[in-house]
Chains A and B, each alone.
Chain A
């Protein structure tokens, strides 16, 4: 579509041009706009101003500039097309019509640039300038227009794209903006001008579309530059009664699509746009933008409730059309573009959440006003590490995570991760939804247990990757450390204003998560809880600073989320809230009630089932694998097992004690210590007790990583709070403190990289049972352990349980028959034992590593046969019986409760999201003060424009 540069041959016989300026409460811009007209190197032959019921003196400004006889007053509510039509009636007939807005100013060469292009080919009927933003002057707004299949206006430009000449080639487009549009008068008359049904928006696209179907071309003229304030779009134009409602834009978009679509495509579009609009309404409600949702509904109603109007519009267009839409399909936006915009919006939302440290900009846009020579000599400014240290840190941390998690990377390819306390992910995200809402459960599972609450966020998060929910587990496991660092750093912004201090502090917290060894031990609940914990503290801090029900609600949601994965979070949170109440006084009581109430409601049956059962709050998501911590582990922020050397934490502990010394920061340091002591108390409590899981074992030692790490983190926070005093101390002291502070993250980082995530967790390459057993209809009885320590068994359905199903393990009472049968089997099994196993759905026995004596005993049991095994030392037997493999039905009320719980979570999340409301003062003159005043923003000098 690019064309050769036009030649100014029109100067030999200049075509006549009549300009129509439409104004409506544009007094802010008009002085500058009218002034720009006076400097044009080639001016229109005739001018007319049309003022649409302005109440701000716009009509007078136009009158003073054009003369009273060249101004037409239009009644309020007159659309742009009708206003132009009024102007044309009073305008002598000219070859071309030039349409102008009251918020768009021109350069001296604008019209001549347009004419250069307009006269370059006989089929060019409409020409549009390159439109740049006013007042920034450098950002491109439009260089031609098109429309998406969803009725969206598409410029093809990136948001805020600077004008560096990248679009300075004339090209054929579907439409151009009416601001600065140059259109042949005969074509205008042939097409009937702008459609009165589109008084404000999409009239330009509609006109261009009709022109294209009539066989004319609409072309951009980048040599003609126009500056547009887009007052209506930005809502900065003062409105008066009778102005178009806010939903007019969407109505116009739908109308243009349906009015111009071809006969076949019309019906597809008719249905698609209706459904799509309703989905948009739902989406806007979800993101709490009720006003936009209302606009969408009103727009849909306006279009779909007037089919006759639509029919007439289509008939009119059919009369002027000379070619079908498919002949101009290259002028339309790609089908995927709306979805690309959706992804961009999601990405922008994510970036806003994890946005890096505030940076010093080098002002790239302004540099584009320099000459090309100057651009080459641009100073790149300080290095990225200096400009965005946290961003660089996060990137480095992510890379280090990938290196340290080298043993887990295979899980990305296939199968995900499992091992230790971590069970595999379900085959699809539907597995987790089924846990929550399913009507039945697999054989061998208890129908009486409630669904694990953590299945809800997992299901919601895994739904976009429906067939690979394991990716969610894998990604969180691999990037647990940077995620914890990100969460801590956001809290750090609230704790400290010193960038370097808080980065070191966030790294220390991230290192503590790595050091505790939660990932290699498959402690997924701990991982999530430690990522969520800084967010809980952050929101609690917000609540303390600015009490409000919405913040309290948000805090309740975060506590519930953390508790879902690690119920001990609820205990720690309640203790922290009590401390907050103690510090803030009774005034804070109501807020705490909201927090606790929200958490309790969101937790629902999970609260009863896990968090409220004494000591069972230690059972986190996954298998209840006992902890093996020592007292030293707890004191140094560890929890036993695969963990970093304890002595790496000692410097932080020492600094934590020293942090109490400075009087200036003591009050806040004491609060950090108080929180730390609460966490330490909980960790020590876990150390001296044991708990019972569902199966009746009462001697499970808790895994105390969450309170242990939080104790350590609290001391690190005390150091962060006192850091300004320490750094201002004598140089040797400050240096020693700095070295001590960085020793832990650096040391743990080295240990982490060298050792890697080497633990029970690994790619789920192997099934829990041999493949041929997984394909059998019944359950497989898996026996592990030995005679001295006892034998444990589990019944495995198919490939084995997935994360969340551990909550449905039958209780000791429910599985008493199976336990007794297994006991007899390992003593002297009988026919009735086999019958008991069959009744429980078992049709095979798998012992990965069984003692020969026990194997012989099983061998001697009647109705049991040896079968081939998958590895040396393991034994497999199949039962000569028909297993009862019927799924167990979940009580209806449990599903009902789960459904209500899902709804409650959605409602809570919606309530915590900020409500989007349009700024009411946008319509006031005062709102303009918040923006750069275009009236006071000088247009670029001619020389500058020439070089741009």
Chain B
């Protein structure tokens, strides 16, 4: 009986084998196509545009020596050959409306700066700015076109193809209808200075958005005021609207500080501001639950109770906002600090950019945990001269001289390179005479995040 049963039952081995095979295969992870994360790609060529003029000194440098640097001056301006050496920190003045620099070199981190002192008739004051790379969607806060507050948008086409951008303006009452602001086209390598008054006159407070739609375009705003609070400041791009951001590098402000906020959305935003100061972070009195109407650009006077020390503003909102801060240092000059992302990589801080600026002070904020910042000084031949380290307690703002004035190499320093360990937001503050200027610490372009690329199998 058992044998007969076994004889009949052996065929069950086949279905059992099938089940066993399926069960075994189920234990093995199935092959699948995994999404490929974006990767960092070495930057091998960088173009940037700098406002130029006889009163402005250009400084061109890089983290590591590049392969080639070409400089093109608008309207056939004369180029100082010193500027074309990619292995040096080069400074020169170019008598032209603007200069376009293209530097090649794998991960060389080219950066350009401009510095000078604005003429008194234009507002006076110290000007230190970073040359603009190709912008995608650039936001500038703190501009104006009236009431003796005038800004000029400097657009530069840095490539051989036509470039087009749309310019949008916001004022305290919402979006401003600008004239001929849509589809602003620039011929190859053209530099165009666009007074905002030509787009929308009589607006003492303006926020500007430049949206590149075609080609490669650089943009920077030169802001000047001859009003009661006079001065000149190059306004760099601030962060695109976001819900959580820091505006760092705020120093002094004897004549007050102004928080510049834009709500480009279609809903009212509620804003809370914290002050990250030397001793810690605290909520700004009068800076809580601020309602920003849709499309509203508002300049908020920061209460004096928040102090005058080195600070950073931490802005949190329920809607994306763009923000900057204007520091009215004195009656003759002011500085504009832009919101920036935490420093990742290495940032260049110009020291030798003509004789009109002094050694800056680094204002560093560690919004989260403790952080350190290494500051390494280089001479014009890109040789390291020395370095120092700045420690920042979490939730505080610290400061340090970019170069120790007592150091024996202090006079030889052309620039310093700042490297952060931890989350650090910072700016370099320039002060000379009555002039002030702020320059956010931005990493030199070494790598760029790009989607992973693979060839399709047709």
Contact = CB atoms under 8 A, between A and B. Distances in A.
A623 B43 contact: no
A827 B448 contact: yes
Contact of A794 (B14, B216, B458): B458
B21 A680 contact: yes
Contact of A828 (B24, B36, B448): B448
Given A670-B11, A827-B43, A828-B448, A860 B454 contact: no
A677 B17 CA distance: 8
Contact of A862 (B11, B12, B161, B455): B161
Contact of A809 (B11, B104, B455): B455
A701 B32 contact: yes
B214 interface: yes
Contacts of B14: 660, 670, 673-674, 677
Interface stretch (A34-42, A211-219, A291-299, A816-824): A816-824
B29 A697 contact: no
B453 A823 contact: yes
A818 B35 contact: no
Nearest to A830: B45
Contacts of B160: 862-863, 880
Given A677-B17, A832-B44, A792 B456 contact: yes
A700 B31 CA distance: 8
Contact of B104 (A663, A810, A830): A830
Contact of A830 (B33, B44, B213): B44
Q: Which interface residue of A680, A695, A789 has the most chain B CB atoms within 10 A?
A: A789
Contact of A790 (B18, B35, B212, B458): B35
B455 A695 contact: yes
A812 B453 CA distance: 11
B32 A787 contact: no
B45 A860 contact: no
Contact of B449 (A685, A696, A827, A880): A827
B453 A790 contact: yes
Contacts of B28: 688
B455 A815 contact: yes
Contacts of A809: 455, 457-458
Interface stretch (A103-111, A198-206, A851-859, A939-947): A851-859
Contacts of A824: 41, 44, 450
B1 to A, nearest CB: 17
Contacts of A699: 31-34
Contact of A860 (B17, B30, B36, B216): B216
B214 A866 contact: yes
B455 A794 contact: yes
A912 B18 CA distance: 37
Contact of A688 (B29, B39, B448): B29
A472 interface: no
Q: Which interface residue of A784, A793, A860, A862 has the most chain B CB atoms within 10 A?
A: A860
B66 to A, nearest CB: 12
Contact of B45 (A688, A794, A832, A856): A832
A694 B43 CA distance: 28
Contacts of A788: 35, 37-38, 451
Nearest to B214: A866
A687 interface: yes
A145 interface: no
Contacts of A592: none
Contact of A690 (B15, B32, B445, B458): B32
Contacts of B31: 687-690, 699-702
B453 A828 contact: no
Interface in B284-325: none
A100 interface: no
Contact of B36 (A685, A695, A790): A790
B214 A790 contact: no
Contacts of A661: 11
Given A830-B45, A832-B44, A789 B159 contact: no
Given A791-B452, A793-B455, A828 B30 contact: no
Contacts of B407: none
A104 B11 CA distance: 67
A794 B455 CA distance: 6
Contacts of B445: 828
Given A623-B458, A688-B31, A701-B30, A680 B18 contact: yes
B6 interface: no
Interface string A801-816: 1000110011010010
Interface residues of A, number: 76
A689 B452 CA distance: 23
A225 interface: no
Contacts of B216: 859-862
A786 interface: yes
B162 interface: yes
A216 to B, nearest CB: 72
A819 B45 contact: no
A697 B457 contact: yes
A819 B104 contact: no
A862 B163 CA distance: 11
Contact of A660 (B15, B212, B217): B15
A701 B38 CA distance: 22
Interface string B237-252: 0000000000000000
A423 B458 CA distance: 9
Interface string A607-641: 00000000000000001101000010011000000
A789 B38 CA distance: 8
A321 interface: no
Contact of B456 (A660, A663, A793, A857): A793
A142 B292 CA distance: 104
B215 interface: yes
A719 to B, nearest CB: 14
A509 B24 CA distance: 27
A168 interface: no
B313 to A, nearest CB: 28
Nearest to B447: A827
B26 interface: yes
A660 B33 CA distance: 39
Contacts of B33: 626, 690, 699-701
Interface in A815-873: 815, 818-819, 822-824, 826-828, 830-832, 853-854, 856-857, 859-866
Given A699-B32, A863-B159, A831 B45 contact: yes
Contact of B21 (A623, A677, A697): A677
Nearest to B164: A866
Nearest to A715: B18
A669 B198 CA distance: 89
B44 A695 contact: no
Given A666-B11, A787-B451, A806 B458 contact: yes
A861 B137 CA distance: 16
A697 B34 CA distance: 11
B134 interface: yes
Q: Which interface residue of B30, B39, B454, B456 has the most chain A CB atoms within 10 A?
A: B456
Contacts of A684: 21-22, 24-25
B370 interface: no
Interface string A654-688: 00010011010010001001101100110011011
Given A695-B457, A792-B454, A856-B136, 13 more contacts: A626-B33, A663-B8, A680-B22, A688-B25, A694-B457, A695-B455, A696-B455, A699-B34, A701-B30, A828-B445, A862-B216, A863-B160, A864-B161
Interface of B: 8, 11-12, 14-15, 17-18, 21-22, 24-26, 28-39, 41, 43-47, 104, 134, 136-137, 159-162, 212-217, 445, 448-458
- The 5 tightest CB contacts between A and B, nearest first, are A827-B450, A690-B31, A830-B45, A790-B36, A860-B216
24 contacts: A626-B33, A631-B22, A663-B8, A677-B17, A680-B18, A680-B21, A690-B32, A696-B455, A788-B35, A790-B35, A790-B451, A790-B453, A791-B454, A809-B457, A810-B455, A823-B39, A823-B453, A859-B213, A860-B215, A860-B216, A861-B216, A862-B159, A862-B161, A865-B162
